Structure 1
């Protein structure tokens, strides 16, 4: 069996902010009626509550993101993803639902620093300065889909497909180069 590796081997760049890949992270897509009692119970069993529209809930090292009216994304430690996937599949087995471990198909990056918003302003049409903590945004960075949220006071987390991780990292790195600040 091969060893799992992250998309960019924890690549990191220093500019007017720090841009880094998070390394191996577990991610599970859950497609279901978000009002279904089995889903709500399964999330409660993980210590999580259903996030509001475009929201994020967190508990016990787990992050649950609202992705669309019938899609959630559970972010967890990479080694816990198979167990969480199995538990969710079992809990939702008698309902119309899909649970898929997409950990190896996604990449997570962080933009950290007092000017993280400026990097995102170059890449997304979203009003970054008005983005509250705990709100997920799905968008495009140039030619590729991405999602992001304010994950700390001076931190924005970005999720993209693994196949375009190097491209997204390049966009973030160029947007964070010293001398390209917006303000």
Structure 2
């Protein structure tokens, strides 16, 4: 079996903020209506995290569960554990209408860190960053591509499609150029 490879093989940039690609990361898209019997147990079994509230992400170390839409959750976990997590979801949601798909190789994940990390994304996304709270997941766009991101005490995590990873890295590095902070 071959080893997983991230989209940009761990690309990094240091400007007024630090940008780095994380990967490979295990990711599952789970589609199920809120209130579905077994949904909370499925998310807990797959990630160890609680069911996220509206526009929130629950993070436990390298595992997370994020609310993406009224019937969609993004589950993040170590890449090697995706198959076991899918089995756990299937068992917890047995007999319930749902869809759980491994999207690990279809996504790219970036970290934006530093005291002015928000300025990198302020230039690229139509979000009121003054209102964005730690643990709030925002599904939006970064320039012209779909993205989701959330803040924590150290910065931001951004998820996008793998097919646009190089473009997004270019956007982030350009936005973080020394001398361009406001």
What does residue 67 of structure 2 align with? Answer: 66
1:59-111 Cα distance to aligned partner (Å, 9 max, x none): 35320000000000001111111211121123223111000010000010000
CA distance in 2, matches of 1:173, 1:45: 37
For 2:66, what is the secondary structure of its paired residue? strand
- Give the root-mean-square deviation of aligned CA atoms: 1.3
Contact kept in structure 2, 1:115 and 1:154, CA below 8 Å = no
Contact kept in structure 2, 1:25 and 1:76, CA below 8 Å = yes
Instruction: Give the total of aligned pairs.
Output: 181
Normalising by structure 2, we get a TM-score of 0.95
Structure-to-structure mapping, 1:29-68, within 5 angstroms: 29-46=29-46, 47-59=48-60, 61-68=62-69
What does residue 94 of structure 1 align with? Answer: 95
1:9-52 Cα distance to aligned partner (Å, 9 max, x none): 00000100100001210110000012112112222335322111
For 2:130, what is the secondary structure of its paired residue? helix
Structure-to-structure mapping, 1:88-167, within 5 angstroms: 88-150=89-151, 152-167=152-167
Contact kept in structure 2, 1:147 and 1:158, CA below 8 Å = yes
For 1:130, what is the secondary structure of its paired residue? coil
What does residue 172 of structure 1 align with? Answer: 172
Structure 1 spans left out of the alignment, 5+ residues: none
Normalising by structure 1, we get a TM-score of 0.94
CA distance in 1, matches of 2:133, 2:127: 12
CA distance in 1, matches of 2:106, 2:59: 22
Structure 2 spans left out of the alignment, 5+ residues: none
- In structure 2, relative to structure 1, the CA distance for the partners of 1:22 and 1:60 (3 Å cut) is closer
